[in-house]
Amino acid sequence: MEILDKLTILADAAKYDVSCSSSGSSRKNKEGGIGNAAISGICHSWSDDGRCISLLKILLTNYCIYNCAYCVNRSSNDLPRAAFTPDEVAQLTINFYRRNYIEGLFLSSAIMKDPNHTMELLLTTVKLLRNEHRFNGYIHVKAIPGADSRLIYETGKYVDRMSVNIELPSSGGLKLLAPQKKKEEIIKPMSLITRQMKQHKEEKKIFKSSPSFVPAGQSTQLIVGATADHDYQILKLSEGLYNRFQLKRVYYSAYVPIGIHPQLPTLASPPTLREHRLYQADWLLRFYGFQATELLDEVQPNFDTLLDPKCDWALRNMHLFPIEINKAEIEMLLRIPGIGVQSARRIVAARRMAPISYDGLKKIGVVMKRARYFITCQGKYYGEVGLQERLIRQCLISKPILVQNKPEEKQLSLFDVYQLKESIITGEL
């Protein structure tokens, strides 16, 4: 098969993996080598769906022994199959890299033959790149659940990021749609990577020259909308993953209907608004000091479609507002709708020089159409409807960004925006 045909098949098969981030690693180039990693990550292009392209994201193969209902590569699906050799992947990566098309490689794979065989091929590929081609650019590789720990450990020494995709947010969903997979098998490589990362960090404190292990951390992906799981369950799961496994990122992937299956929902279009709300909440967990239980609960297990999670939280907690901009601690500033991590920091820096006025806040970059209902500036309140939850709610949703009837049509871009350079300042790596 021609390399062009293989690329068509194996890039197409990889496109449902959301992660494309190339941040978090500062690997240096070596004498006579090619490539390095930029700590902030660099986007190299944007595809027609508006998602950033940073890495060459391909599967090593889409031949799969599993038959997971939600997955396009399931064994029962009738579609063209292909497999790259490790050498082909290395050649593609190096030649794309030399032309500055990409920031590195994101190599994933379906399970060919068995997990160990697949993991071995992935390891061979990254070793080839690092050792033969002296490639020091970014590499993200999938850890294959069920593969031998030694193989996963060995791979971790060569790459910048590893990930294991959980895909289905509950064991129930797993049983229903991917009966061949077990929760334990997914969790095992994750905890292995977490342990090794910790250990290597400790060693690095003592011996600076000791090798790094997955320096950009690990991530995972959850599919949204393929199972009956609520936003609350998904967010709780993410919170657990951040706390227990120190994950760098959890990605959410709006389920794109592929094929018909009795256990799968029939959706007109991918639930991108729901995906967007989950990303917003995810940011609140990681950078704004929120906990999942503050944002959702058993009674209200799904996010409001009209209001973002932060506004929604603020309206349910009106007793905390209004907050005086010139006095509040940064933790409280971060909880005000319309104030992000950057503007909170700018407020703290600016008020050290002089009290901030309403006009000054605008200049700092605070989104006043949301913030004004929740703040006072030098003692004065600027929301024209008074501190009334119901009225403020109306004001906030009176001009919805999204057309109410067709919420699925527009993909919002918060998640990609954060991959710009500013990510380094606010720490969203």
Kindly indicate which of the ranges 5-13, 161-169, 311-319, 384-392 contains the residues binding other proteins, using the contact rule CB under 8 A: 5-13
β partners of residue 135: 34
Q: Nearer to other proteins by C-beta: 16 or 373?
A: 16
Does the protein bind other proteins through residue 259 (CB under 8 A)? no
Q: Is 357 an interacting residue with respect to other proteins (CB under 8 A)?
A: yes
341 binds other proteins (CB under 8 A): no
Stretch that binds other proteins, among 154-162, 171-179, 205-213, 412-420 (CB under 8 A): 412-420
- Least CB distance to other proteins at residue 220 (A): 19
CB 19 → other proteins: shortest distance, Å?
13
Taking residue 417's Cβ as centre, other Cβ atoms within 10 Å add up to 12
DSSP 144: P
Interface region with other proteins, contact rule CB under 8 A, candidates 74-82, 99-107, 162-170, 319-327: 99-107
Q: Which stretch binds other proteins (CB under 8 A): 36-44, 285-293, 298-306, 317-325?
A: 36-44
318 binding other proteins? (CB under 8 A): no
Q: Are 165 and 109 in contact (CB under 8 A)?
A: no
Pairwise CA distance, residues 91 & 6, whole Å: 14
Whole-Å CA distances, 297 to 220, 230, 251, 270, 386: 24, 10, 21, 25, 28
* CB contact at 8 A, 54 and 23: no
The residues in 147-206 that bind other proteins, with binding defined as CB under 8 A, are none
Torsion sign (Cα): 84, 88, 93, 95: negative
Q: Looking at the DSSP assignment, which residues form a beta bridge with residue 104?
A: 55, 138
Q: How far is the CB of 62 from other proteins (least distance, A)?
A: 12
Longest CA pairwise span in the chain (Å): 72
Closest by CA position to 41, among listed 425, 419, 427, 428? 419
Single residue of 64, 69, 82, 92 touching other proteins by CB under 8 A: 92
Q: Say how many CA atoms lie within 13 Å of 225 toward its Cβ.
A: 21
**Alpha helices, DSSP H only, in 334-398?**
341-353, 358-364, 368-371, 389-397
Binding range to other proteins, per CB under 8 A, among 25-33, 63-71, 76-84, 145-153: 25-33
Q: Does 38 bind other proteins (CB under 8 A)?
A: yes
Give min distance, CB of 256 to other proteins, in A: 5
316 binds other proteins (CB under 8 A): no
Q: Find the part of the chain contacting other proteins (CB under 8 A) among 98-106, 155-163, 312-320, 378-386.
A: 98-106
Question: Smallest Cα–Cα separation from 102: which of 17, 43, 31, 37?
Answer: 43
223 burial (CB, 10 Å; 0-12 / 13-18 / 19+) is buried
Q: Is 350 in the site for other proteins (CB under 8 A)?
A: yes
Answer for which of 205, 208, 352, 399 binds other proteins (CB under 8 A) is 352
Q: Determine, following the binding rule CB under 8 A, whether residue 306 of this chain makes contact with other proteins.
A: no
Restricting to residues 267-286, name those near other proteins by CB under 8 A: 269-270, 272
Q: Which stretch binds other proteins (CB under 8 A): 60-68, 93-101, 111-119, 166-174?
A: 93-101
Total length of the chain: 429
Q: Residue 35 half-sphere exposure, CB side, CA atoms within 13 Å? A: 29
Q: Using CB under 8 A, which of 349, 385, 414, 425 touches other proteins?
A: 349
Give all strands (DSSP E) within 229-341, no chain letters.
249-254, 323-324
Residue 61's closest CA among 137, 129, 7?
Answer: 7
Per CB under 8 A, 140 contacts other proteins? no
> Minimum distance from CB of 13 to other proteins (Å)?
9
Q: Looking at residue 61, what DSSP letter applies? A: B
Interface ranges with other proteins (CB under 8 A): 3-4, 7-8, 11-12, 14-16, 29, 32-36, 38, 40, 42-54, 56-57, 92, 95-96, 98-101, 103, 134, 137, 254, 256-257, 269-270, 272, 346, 349-350, 352-354, 356-357, 359-360, 363-364, 410-411, 413, 416, 420-421
